[in-house]
Structures are given as structure tokens and as C-alpha cells.
């Protein structure tokens, strides 16, 4: 899982060992998975169940990661806040910073600050989590949440990537299909994304 002591890092093998039927019911196995991997890898390797078990078992790192995950999901803000509060009571510095940043209703500035606080504590890559949340919102057809996630992604990204450009163009298309205004992204940002997609042959 860590690539130490002469072992190459190979997360799938580590997860296979820690989810083996002989140990998968032990809380310690879930805690190791949740504390070892950043949030984006926990999501990539479909370990949300381990993350939740570790948070319930009292791992403050897992609680912060779970709180972050919930805050990036529509309707998950209150549950995310509760996990941050629990982790803060245990002394996790990222949880305290996240709590200071969170507002209701969730806006892009608040989510950006939360992701930056969690990233600073080493629990997640803020840009990767924002993109995961944007992809999920697009798949669900949730334009409002998608726009928040894209605003955060654009703020975090040092340069416009192909994936981010495609997500913005897809969001514009979703707004057109739903006949809703597309707000929150500047005209210049939208034009840059459309230009990138056009140059890649998107008719």
C-alpha cells in the first residue's frame, strides 16, 4: 500500500490482502485502507465502505475524508459537517479548517476552501476530488451542483485540461437540454473550453 521496505507500491494487491475473507471483518483492516490512501484513491478503488467503517471505528483521518466526500455530494452537507465535527473534537487540524470554511447552502467558494483545507492536511488531492464530483453531477444531470464543482475545478487548475474542458462543454449542453441558464462560469472560460473541444474535432 505504501511502497516501503523493499516492496513496490501496488494498491490493488494491498486492498486484496486487507479485504481477504480472513480479515475483512476486522475494523483495523478498514482503518489501514482508509488512513493509507488519499480520498481520490479510495474512490477510484471503490473503498467507500472501508472509509465509512473506519470513520465509525474512530479514525479521524477517515472521518475527514468521509466528511469531504459527503460535502461534494448533493444533499450531503449536513452529514459531512457532522463527521468534520467529530474529527475536530479528536483534534484533526484539517477538520477545524474545513468547519470554519463551510457555509449553508454550499457555494463554490465554501467547497473550494474545504477541499484546500483537506488537501493541506494531506488527506486528498483537491483538484482530483472536484473533478470526481463534477463527473458524478454530470452523470446525475444535476446542473446546479455540476456548476459548483466546475467553478472549484477551474479555480484549482493551473491550466485548462482536456477533461475539464470537456466537462464544461458537457455542462453547457446539459443546460441547453434542460433549458436553464448556465451561470457561474465566465464567458472567457466557456469560450476557452469550447475552443479546446473544437480543436480536438468536436463538431
Cα separation, 25 vs 141, in Å, equals 36
pLDDT tens by residue, 71-94: 999 999 999 999 999 999 999 999
Cα separation, 22 vs 99, in Å, equals 38
CATH of residue 54: 1.25.40
Q: Which cell is 44 given?
A: 477510484
- pLDDT band of 24, cuts 50, 70, 90: confident
Residue % of the chain over a pLDDT of 90: 91
Identify whether 150 is part of a domain: yes
Q: Which cell is 119 given?
A: 488537501
Identify whether 41 is part of a domain: yes
What's the structural domain count of the chain?
1
Identify whether 2 is part of a domain: no
pLDDT tens by residue, 27-39: 999 999 999 999 9
pLDDT tens by residue, 45-72: 999 999 999 999 999 999 999 999 999 9
Identify whether 84 is part of a domain: yes
Cα separation, 122 vs 116, in Å, equals 10
Crossing angle between the packed helical segments 126-140 and 162-178, to the nearest 10 degrees: 30
Which residues form the domain of 36? 11-199
122: left (phi over 0), alpha (psi -120 to 50) or beta: left
pTM of the model: 0.93
CB 71 within 8 A of CB 51: no
Cα separation, 83 vs 68, in Å, equals 9
- pLDDT band of 103, cuts 50, 70, 90: confident
Amino acid at each position: 500500500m505504501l511502497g516501503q521496505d523493499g516492496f513496490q507500491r501496488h494498491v490493488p494487491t494491498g486492498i486484496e490482502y486487507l479485504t481477504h475473507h480472513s480479515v475483512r471483518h476486522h475494523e483495523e483492516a478498514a482503518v489501514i485502507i482508509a488512513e493509507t490512501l488519499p480520498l481520490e484513491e479510495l474512490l477510484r478503488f471503490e473503498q467507500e465502505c472501508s472509509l465509512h467503517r473506519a470513520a465509525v471505528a474512530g479514525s479521524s483521518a477517515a472521518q475527514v475524508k468521509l466528511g469531504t466526500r459527503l460535502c461534494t455530494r448533493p444533499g450531503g452537507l449536513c452529514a459531512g459537517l457532522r463527521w468534520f465535527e467529530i474529527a475536530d473534537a479528536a483534534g484533526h487540524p484539517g477538520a477545524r479548517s474545513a468547519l470554519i470554511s463551510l457555509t449553508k447552502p454550499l457555494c463554490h467558494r465554501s467547497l473550494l476552501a474545504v477541499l484546500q483545507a483537506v488537501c493541506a492536511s494531506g488527506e486528498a488531492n483537491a483538484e482530483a476530488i472536484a473533478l470526481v464530483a463534477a463527473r458524478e453531477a454530470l452523470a446525475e444531470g444535476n446542473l446546479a451542483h455540476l456548476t459548483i464543482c466546475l467553478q472549484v475545478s477551474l479555480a484549482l487548475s493551473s491550466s485548462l485540461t482536456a477533461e475539464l474542458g470537456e466537462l464544461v462543454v458537457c455542462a453547457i449542453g446539459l443546460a441547453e437540454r434542460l433549458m436553464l441558464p448556465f451561470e457561474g462560469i465566465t464567458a472567457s472560460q466557456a469560450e476557452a473550453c469550447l475552443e479546446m473541444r473544437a480543436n480536438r474535432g468536436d463538431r
